[in-house]
Structure 1
């Protein structure tokens, strides 16, 4: 009988510094503002999927804004967002001067790579688009045609909310609300906003989860994987996980739990269980490959598309198993806290012939939080990231140094990172080698 093996993930996206250019319009009078936010999402099940750009930009980029945003503040914040997407923009002079709403919007249009579309707008189309926000466009007014086109395309594409720009006006000061929306939308247009399949309440969530699973394959990570396999062969670690950072949901950690498993029917039943209990959450399925030593005395392994082995020098094998992490961003902290009792009652095996459990329930279920939860022990993730690939192994806190040294022993130039997080008690017991309960 094979031992249960599961380790885990996380990707911490490094925030780079870059500058963005603001296209200035002739005859325009500017005003400025910017900032850096720090907020926490608070939503009800009815609007769990509603975008909260303020919270997202705060958490992902460390941007804290309030009141009127200055040119310096907005330039700094936008540069962080742009840099994180791998894009580049020309530098602009910074300073504490005021920033007009149209300037911030034009900068966002450039950063979202919609400038060419804006240039296709005729004056009649500009007039019609402005009218959606209750604004009146006048040829030869304070804004150039280029700036007016930018505002028009921002309205049509939802880069700016019509009610927000209606209250601020094109030449008014940039408010924190406007700045956060522009920053969040730029991230979204560049594929760096939240990444998820739907919500528990969505009628089509089950099909989307299964389809996503069917499209996944065992992850291959080239030289990084070869390095960790060498560590595994030398028994310096017992196993590891491979993750693909492209599937990172970028959820609010305060309301998120990630649950690891290998049976997709188990995932569907877990989502159904949460729905039956009146719990809603955003749902993302993240691909994961679990690697571990398969001993030759276990017999000839049966290979499938989802389970592959490679024989090593001592006759054992390295097994690679297709798995997943199911991430939930709950509508509230309270719903997040309700998750564990449901899992322990309906998705944790305590005896061989247990009934009343979800299909494929494990003796040691694996789920974790990046923020503190009562009754969750703390362990350490030891990981190396190369591009979009992350290789990681979980350990007890006191064993982390040995794991890091194992990585470094084989790959002396490898940069190993660690962080602590909160995991369920059964998995903690598994790491300690204690009884499965």
Structure 2
């Protein structure tokens, strides 16, 4: 909602995620004494990346990865993160039936060209090579792979310590897929020294590939950079410049009706395609309307030696503009529509800036920084960053000391969603009211933790 009205008017009461079976099977078998049974110890960098991806797939998809996954388990995991539609077609597999726990996932991947053979061998161990072929296709990279001439294949495989000319390990197509996985970073450089085609794919290895699949499909964390990046200020400003007011007519109709009924006095419209998807334990979301404030806020964090990933999420805030406030001035970023009682509904361009901090300690420190340099306590107060509010808005999806619990009441339609923040005790009434306005809509209501000044704002306090 349009929070700059806080300084002028009565506070508002509510505010407003190659086939498993080798497409081109390797034409080799290692001697028994040379067979690879385990990977080498992971490097620190590899473990850090793997742990980050493990945390993400657990938080977003409820996946806990096996230390020694089977082919079927990996197929299920890939299908879950891609959320592929399954068409009603004949089962192409000869070794699984409809009662198999792998049936839906395997068929979905087959229908989308990620699996290509008609046997799944679901209980067999997943090798690093198996996993790479699946991940390559699931990342929509197969056409790129099949453009590779032998000279590029040789160069890429050499990074994995594989001599394509001497070993003749793969068919041409299999070698192309592995080579493209190397060049695109699907197999990151931290895994080069531990990549062994026939080795069991560990949970670290599968986590990295799942994270890369998500990244190539645009479903991993979204950020425009880090606080200490040299170009971060440019990226923040450019992200804001390209924002437009969000329309989402169906959602507007529902929540505008709620405004007219005084069920809510404000709401936000957002686009889920810009959601940061950060680790909830390490992240906070900060809302504002002034881009200079965002630029200075990032600079403030740098000056306090606090690093974080940064994402700017577009937001349109809607609220009641009273006719006694005078004739509103409209622009591309601020528009109004007059309603039956002579008041207006105003739609204003704002933003949420999401931070994923390097450590929990840095996340905890954020509140003190805001209280000292971005929280207005008196008129014409000096020593604050530009456009600081009486009641700054920032919140965490996990519990934070000295934060208060409030509720979000949210309806999604496609990739857009509308939400209205309220006190926890008001959430049931807001949800019921929204359901009455739009019986077919699903209202998601949940609690989270917000800073004390904003909690007081929801309680009707001015400062």
Matches within 5 A, 1:7-406: 13=17, 22-26=21-25, 27=27, 52-83=52-83, 89-90=109-110, 93=120, 95-137=122-164, 141=168, 143-406=170-433
CA contact (8 A) 1:126 1:152 kept: yes
- Sort the Cα spacing of 1:32 and 1:400 in 2 relative to 1 into closer, same or farther, 3 A: farther
SS at match of 1:90: helix
Distance 2:411 2:251 in 1: 8
1:309 CA drift (Å)? 0.6
1:404 CA drift (Å)? 0.3
CA contact (8 A) 2:410 2:417 kept: yes
CA contact (8 A) 1:100 1:171 kept: yes
Distance 2:316 2:332 in 1: 12
Q: Which moved more, 1:384-393 or 1:67-76?
A: 67-76
- Sort the Cα spacing of 1:255 and 1:84 in 2 relative to 1 into closer, same or farther, 3 A: farther
- Sort the Cα spacing of 1:207 and 1:3 in 2 relative to 1 into closer, same or farther, 3 A: farther
- Sort the Cα spacing of 1:398 and 1:5 in 2 relative to 1 into closer, same or farther, 3 A: closer
- CA deviation string 1:11-46 (max 9, x = no partner): xx3xxxxxx75444345679999xxxxxxxx99xxx
Distance 1:271 1:203 in 2: 12
CA contact (8 A) 2:222 2:276 kept: yes
Distance 1:133 1:180 in 2: 19
- Sort the Cα spacing of 1:7 and 1:49 in 2 relative to 1 into closer, same or farther, 3 A: farther
SS at match of 1:89: helix
Distance 2:223 2:258 in 1: 33
Q: Gapped runs of 5+ residues in structure 2?
A: 1-7, 38-43, 87-104
What TM-score comes out, normalization by structure 1 length? 0.88
1:132 CA drift (Å)? 1.2
Distance 1:395 1:85 in 2: 36
Distance 2:83 2:36 in 1: 21
SS at match of 2:389: coil
1:413 to 420, 436, 440: 440
1:98 CA drift (Å)? 1.0
Aligned CA RMSD, in angstroms, stands at 2.9
CA contact (8 A) 2:272 2:417 kept: yes
Q: Which moved more, 1:155-164 or 1:420-429?
A: 155-164
- Sort the Cα spacing of 1:209 and 1:95 in 2 relative to 1 into closer, same or farther, 3 A: same
- Sort the Cα spacing of 1:163 and 1:210 in 2 relative to 1 into closer, same or farther, 3 A: closer
CA contact (8 A) 1:244 1:288 kept: yes
- CA deviation string 1:292-347 (max 9, x = no partner): 11111111111122211100111110011111101111110000000001111211
CA contact (8 A) 1:382 1:419 kept: yes
1:238 CA drift (Å)? 0.9
**Bigger RCO (CA 8 Å, 6+ sep):** 2
Question: In terms of Rg, which structure is larger?
Answer: 2
Report the counterpart of residue 427 of structure 1 in structure 2: 454
1:208 CA drift (Å)? 1.3
Q: Gapped runs of 5+ residues in structure 1?
A: 14-19, 34-41
CA contact (8 A) 1:255 1:331 kept: yes
- Sort the Cα spacing of 1:79 and 1:22 in 2 relative to 1 into closer, same or farther, 3 A: farther
CA contact (8 A) 1:232 1:239 kept: yes
What TM-score comes out, normalization by structure 2 length? 0.83
- Sort the Cα spacing of 1:203 and 1:242 in 2 relative to 1 into closer, same or farther, 3 A: same
CA contact (8 A) 1:7 1:290 kept: no
CA contact (8 A) 2:12 2:460 kept: no
CA contact (8 A) 2:391 2:457 kept: yes
Counting matched residue pairs gives 416
CA contact (8 A) 2:11 2:458 kept: no
CA contact (8 A) 1:32 1:71 kept: no
Distance 1:23 1:6 in 2: 59
